[in-house]
Structure 1
């Protein structure tokens, strides 16, 4: 597969404190085979100064290709991803949160199985490999592992981290899937739907994780965990 461009989808909601820093990190990444970067930022109606920070950054870094979109009302992370995926023009796309929990320098680790012709989809796992991980909440980690196990039961996959942010897709595959979940149900929905594609090749690579606490801005909560369980069951039986 001839890969010329990687589309980086960045959903943003009230990330004024960190989004310029993650953009700096992305700017410093040199991709395999001189693949170029297309940044797609979707501001999900932030109530802080996220919009101003992004526009100032774009003015100061005009050599970096950034496409900016915004929602007039807050729709949720999944809805922001839907917008970004629809607008992507690269042969490959990856999801990047606007916080600092994931390291863009690891894009090449995700890209390698696709560039080598082995994979169509690559998940970055926080639970495999020797990469650094911040030690945070036991019950949150246990919840993530439980959701991954439950998802695996119904998808017949052997993932270690279904809930990871870092998911990389061949763009034509993800754009061909009708996605519905507007919030954090995106993760189990997309995993369920890609698992049903005949001949799909899914790989997983270990990544670093610099997690943040709820005081530092983490947004996902226990209600989203119950929604994920619902989505795992829903998309197994419905679609």
Structure 2
């Protein structure tokens, strides 16, 4: 079964070739450009990706624009910073394709201690604990690699357009009775600095966005 892969993108010219050259067979990449100034859209198009612009700033806005542009029955999401190996994408898509699970999340396993600083790992552990308490889903990471069926995702009515989008996906899916699971994926050194948690302001915004989602 074909799978559409949504890649939210903001200045990821250095990472895109590596990602797009390693996609498994049957995966169609949709690169959602969120205002890049480094030639990312052109590079993505050169490597065979469908490129769509997203003028509304925000990780969630880019993800949702890609979801709306997708055509395959199963849609996956992954960061475009080379921190995750596209060859491992099948680990999250296969259980959805087979119908075993409705939402699969890639649990990041850092390949070295330097990949994931302790303060971000601690914050992720606390967030995961709150997710388990709120939803009952046994998740230990709100990983950026995930997959579900396109129509079902659209029916969730996701509203967050910033960094709370993945969390809202899990919360709404759990409330809808979805079967949710996670699987280990390698977490690699990313290309460049994170737009979400790479700065104190970005990290603070992410925490605020996710706290709002949990409070709804």
Q: Normalised by the size of structure 1, how large is the TM-score?
A: 0.81
Q: Are the aligned partners of 2:132 and 2:139 in contact in 1 as well (CA < 8 Å)? A: yes
Distance in 1 between residues matched to 2:97 and 2:196, nearest whole Å: 32
Which deviations, in whole Å up to 9, do the C-alpha atoms of 1:120-166 show, x marking residues without a partner? 11111115xxxx6232310010001111111221112221112x011
Give the Cα–Cα distance (whole angstroms) in 2 for the partners of residues 50 and 74 of structure 1.
Answer: 17
The size of the alignment, in residue pairs, is 208
In 2: Cα distance, 1:134 partner to 1:19 partner: 22
The reply on whether 1:68 has 2:51 as its aligned counterpart is: yes
**Superposed displacement of residue 74, structure 1:** 4.9
2:138–2:181 CA contact under 8 A, matched in 1: no
Counterpart of 2:133? 153
Equivalent residue, structure 1, for 2:212 = 230
Could you tell me how far 1:55 is from its partner in structure 2? 3.2
* Cα RMSD, aligned residues only: 1.7
Segment of structure 1 superposing worse, 225-234 or 180-189: 225-234
Q: 1: CA distance between counterparts of 2:56 and 2:100?
A: 38
- Listed as ranges, the gaps of 5+ residues in structure 2 are 198-202
Equivalents in 2 of 1:37, 1:219: separation in Å?
Answer: 25
- Distance of aligned partners of 1:194 and 1:125 in 2 relative to their CA distance in 1, 3 Å threshold: same
The 3-state SS of whatever aligns with 1:134 is: coil
Q: Which residue of 2 aligns with 1:63?
A: none
Structure showing greater radius of gyration is: 1
Could you say what secondary structure the match of 1:207 adopts? strand
Q: Residue 109 of structure 1 is aligned with which of 66, 87, 91? A: 91
What TM-score, normalized by structure 2, do the two folds share?
Answer: 0.89
CA distance in 2: counterparts of 1:121 and 1:74, whole angstroms:
26
**2-side partners of 1:68 and 1:116: how far apart?**
28
Are 2:145 and 1:166 aligned? yes
Structure 1 unmatched ranges of 5 or more: 31-35, 59-65, 235-239
User: Which among 15, 33, 43 is matched to residue 12 of structure 2?
Assistant: 15
Q: Could you give the per-residue CA deviations for residues 180-199 of structure 1, whole angstroms, max 9, x where no partner exists?
A: 1111111211111101113x
How far the C-alpha of 1:212 sits from its partner, in A, is 3.0
